[in-house]
Structure 1
Amino acid sequence: MNDSSKSPAQAWILLLLVALTWGTSFILIKKSLLTFSVTEVAAGRLFLASLFFVPIMVASRRQIPRDRFPYILVSALTGYIIPAFLFALAGTKLNSSLSGMLNSLSPLCTLVIGVLFFAQPRRPLQIVGILLGLLGSCFLIFSKGAGTLNVADPYAFLILTATLLYGININTISKHLSHLPSLAMTAWTFAFTGPISFIILFTTDFFPKITAVENIQPSATLLALGVIGSGLASVMFNRIVQLASGLFAASVTYLIPIVAISWGIFDGERISFQQYVGMGIILAGIYLVNRRERVTPDPVKS
């Protein structure tokens, strides 16, 4: 049963909570990488989240029709597995503030992919917004401030690739999965990520590290990143797609850079003026993309 007819206020509250959670995840990735490798952080957060969802998977096994599983697999790959590795690898070279800023391109990618592959309508203001967003990302990619990127740094493009994958995931959920219970859908998404993550982790030193007494703090950080950042936040995000729309859900990245910058400054990161300009241009572009977007329920899709 689709209960997306509830008050739009719920979507806004969830949007703020997801922004706070995902904005904090960049600094958690950075802290986790002090002990764990890129592979261990990426696969570890997904594996820990999948363990959290095991009881829910069992309880909701009859709530997901079999013909939806291919779409859930697509969602698992494009929304979780591949982006987790891209963000973890980028986190070895980029500061958390810049990662948060580049992630603001997610709504733009959602719109482009929706228009090209999911028959979503296009509007002139949205096209202008896309161009502004791309211009803003160029400001960030080619910035030369302290602790930022060199020209054409490939690590920035890892984040941009992740935002493209997020666009595929959001459109897939909106078109094919929005009628499913958000908690059950998220749990079964992690049913796919769990085994894949476990196989990857089995080839690393993850399990000896996470059980070592001297690694209690980084292990707790990674646990929070998995259960809260990848698990609970995903449930809330999928619920936003159901209550509002894919584009509105993607606009959570309005707020993520603010949270990421705040944590970055608190952690001693330096933010250049050029990065602030780039972030401002990106947010202006996203505003135009979503200008006519209203928080109203979508019809049931399958």
Structure 2
Amino acid sequence: MPNAHPASKNTIMLTMMPAVFVFLWSTGFIGAKLGLPYIEPMTFLAVRFGICVLLFLPLVTLTRTRWPDRWQDWGHIGFAGLLMHGGYLGFVFWSIGLGVPAGTSALIVGIQPLIVGAMAGILLSEKVSRIQWAGLLFGLLGVFLVVAEKLSLGEGSVFAIGLSFLALLSISFGTLYQKKYCSGMSLKSGNFIQFIVATAYFVGMSFLLEDRIIVWSGELVFALAWLVFVLSLGAVSLLYILLRNGAAANVSSLFYLVPPCTAVVAFLLFDERLAFVSLLGMGITIVGVALVNIKPRTAS
């Protein structure tokens, strides 16, 4: 039997990438819940990205690596990494560390597609159709239904919840900035530069805000390994590939699926039950993402 054509394999891979990305990205909230009882959030992230730098160092030095041609490109890549890693992950972990439930934080960050969809037309000249706007609103409704039972005015402080909103702004503008200025970056050198920036940022924040006390445990080691290899090396690379091959608003719509997926993983790992409303919300969210990703018709 002849092997499949390379183009067909690439098409299959690109088709599967969104589903794989959503699952991997959703496990980041679970990793935070698993590891934060044993370590402070900024220290956790400093160790995580420090390991990423050490893993990438032989890869970029011993293999053929394409580096940015201009100093401006180095700056763009570093700033995008500060938004995508430093701002987004830093504020999410800090928020969860202060008592905000992972589902609530996932819900707040799940509003990201509305911001990206609104700003993509201005900053990236991307057209967002009425059907796509309807999909974005459907997705938002579904996310609210999925985590509605986890929301309570008594969970977390105003400051802690505000940190999740800062994470929302960071990932939204980081997505747009990455799409506009860093789409052509090498995944090896680009990730390495962003990991160095993130490590420096989190080390500084850990010295500024924390005692840097670590209580080593099996749960912490597992969470750290998962976040390093699966999230930082796998999911982030998938996100950049998706941004390179699709519109920012379409890619951002995938974040609507993260809270439902987080709820499913939490059910499997922590026996958190899913109510009928949650299942209904998942269905509405899937419909919303499908609408956002409908290809617009073009005149023949």
Task: Give the TM-score of the pair, scaled to structure 1.
Answer: 0.77
**Structure 1 vs Structure 2 CA RMSD:** 3.3
* Residue 32 (structure 1) aligns with: 35
1:116 alignment partner AA: I
1:128 alignment partner AA: A
* Residue 225 (structure 2) aligns with: 223
1:168-194 CA distances to partner (integer Å, 9 max, x unpaired)? 222222222222222322222212112
Matched, 1:12 2:18: no
* Residue 187 (structure 1) aligns with: 192
C-alpha displacement of 1:79? 0.8
1:70-127 CA distances to partner (integer Å, 9 max, x unpaired)? 2112211221101112211332434434444544433333212212333222322233
- Give the 3 Å change call, closer, same or farther, for CA 240–40 of structure 1 in structure 2: same
Identity level (%)? 19
1:114 alignment partner AA: A
> Structure 1: where are the runs of 5+ without partners?
295-302
- Give the 3 Å change call, closer, same or farther, for CA 18–282 of structure 1 in structure 2: closer
* Residue 3 (structure 2) aligns with: none
8 Å contact from structure 2 (residues 52, 195) kept in 1: yes
8 Å contact from structure 1 (residues 110, 164) kept in 2: no
1:184-211 CA distances to partner (integer Å, 9 max, x unpaired)? 22222212112222333345444x62xx
2:121 alignment partner AA: V
- Give the 3 Å change call, closer, same or farther, for CA 283–13 of structure 1 in structure 2: closer
1:189 alignment partner AA: Q
What is the SS of the residue equivalent to 2:89? helix
C-alpha displacement of 1:268? 2.6
Q: Distance in 2 between matches of 1:102 and 1:293?
A: 29
- Give the 3 Å change call, closer, same or farther, for CA 217–274 of structure 1 in structure 2: closer
How many residues matched? 284
* Residue 266 (structure 2) aligns with: 264
1:110 alignment partner AA: V
Q: Distance in 1 between matches of 2:292 and 2:154?
A: 28
* Residue 67 (structure 2) aligns with: 63
* Residue 236 (structure 2) aligns with: 234
2:67 alignment partner AA: Q
1:247 aligned to which of 221, 243, 249: 249
* Residue 57 (structure 2) aligns with: 54
C-alpha displacement of 1:12? 2.4
Q: Distance in 1 between matches of 2:120 and 2:199?
A: 28
1:120 alignment partner AA: E
Q: Distance in 2 between matches of 1:215 and 1:78?
A: 30
2:262 alignment partner AA: A
- Give the 3 Å change call, closer, same or farther, for CA 113–282 of structure 1 in structure 2: farther
Q: Distance in 1 between matches of 2:101 and 2:275?
A: 12
1:57-136 to structure 2, matched below 5 A, reads: 57-58=60-61, 62-65=66-69, 66-92=71-97, 93-136=99-142
1:46-65 CA distances to partner (integer Å, 9 max, x unpaired)? 33323322234445665212
- Give the 3 Å change call, closer, same or farther, for CA 231–292 of structure 1 in structure 2: same
1:135-214 to structure 2, matched below 5 A, reads: 135-136=141-142, 143=148, 145=149, 147-150=150-153, 154=158, 155=160, 158-202=163-207, 204-206=210-212, 209=214, 214=216
